[in-house]
Amino acid sequence: MAASPDPSRLWVFGAGSLIWDPRFEPAETRTALLEEHRRAFCFWTVRARGSFERPGLGLALEPGGTCAGVVFDVPQEGREEILDALWRREMSGGVYNPTWISAQTDDGPVWALGFVGNRSHRNYAGILPLDQSARIIANALGTMGTCHEYVALLAQALDDYGLDDPETQELHRLVQKYLAELS
């Protein structure tokens, strides 16, 4: 927080599961656009939505491109507890670099805490072709369920907020295609 460009407020950028499950009651929620980062399934997950036998792909922000998502204003009351829970949730595996990013909203720009992929992490997979990612996701299963369920929840959350992300929608379509082939 000491490095925050705007210490008066704490905004958190949701690119994935934070969109549909922030696990706290935000003081305010806004749709937002990042202009220097994109959403990417760029690291191997072998716990939550994948395993060593059936690895999945986890989501992170990657430099370049744009990303439509949601920013949540973390309320002052209970902020320390919320931040602690958020940190345990997002940072336990070390696959992210927490980064202050400028997010454009309809009410103007805000500085938000975003979770950018840690390219030096052993589970970093890089940007894989969409077809390859879809095949991996369609087959992955972990302690929290299937990886394809995560993609479906993301696609639905983006639709619910009216956020346009053709790549995620195409990934979801390809995953559904491969799931149909598997059954």
Task: Return the structure tokens found at 22.
Answer: 């922030």
DSSP single-letter state for residue 94: S
Q: Which residues are catalytic?
A: 90
Helix axes 130-139, 147-160, angle to 10 degrees: 120
- DSSP code at position 62: E
What are phi and psi for residue 26, nearest 5 degrees? -70, 150
CB environment 130-152: b (16+ within 10 A), e (fewer)? beebbbbbbbbbbeeebbbebbe
Show Cβ contacts of residue 37 under 8 Å, excluding neighbours closer than 6 positions: 61, 62, 63, 64, 65, 66, 67, 101, 114, 116
Task: Work out the number of other CB atoms within 10 angstroms of the CB of residue 6.
Answer: 12
